[in-house]
Amino acid sequence: MKLNLFETVVLQRDLPEKHLCRGDIGAIVEIYEPDGIEVEFVTGSGETQALVTLKTDDIRLVSGSDILSVRSLDAA
């Protein structure tokens, strides 16, 4: 999968220590070869919730058939 900076991605697994859940949306802010990706997850007000270094298998690109939703951090 070819990834680019600032692309929107979907988390593929829960990260409870970061209060992130599978399906959360983030943006790629750095790419580390061969398969490292730094992703920023933000709250609805634009504050950084987590900045996480992941493997490419931990994320996928947002697709045109995805529907977005909102959840509270209290539910994580």
pLDDT in tens, 30-66: 999 899 999 999 999 999 999 999 999 999 999 999 9
Alpha-carbon separation of residue 44 from 2, 32, 34, 70 (angstroms): 28, 27, 31, 9
The pLDDT value recorded for residue 76 is 53
Which comes out higher in pLDDT, residue 76 or 13?
13
pLDDT band at 74, cuts 50/70/90?
A: confident
Which structure tokens are listed for 5? 């900076």
The residues, any chain, with a CB within 8 Å of residue 31's CB and separated by 6 or more, are: 3, 4, 5, 37, 38
Q: Which residue has the tokens 């007000």?
A: 45
Q: Domains plus CATH for the chain?
A: 8-64 (2.30.30)
List residues bridging with 64 in a β-sheet: none
Span 21-25, average pLDDT: 96
Which structure tokens are listed for 2? 């070819």
The pLDDT value recorded for residue 75 is 57
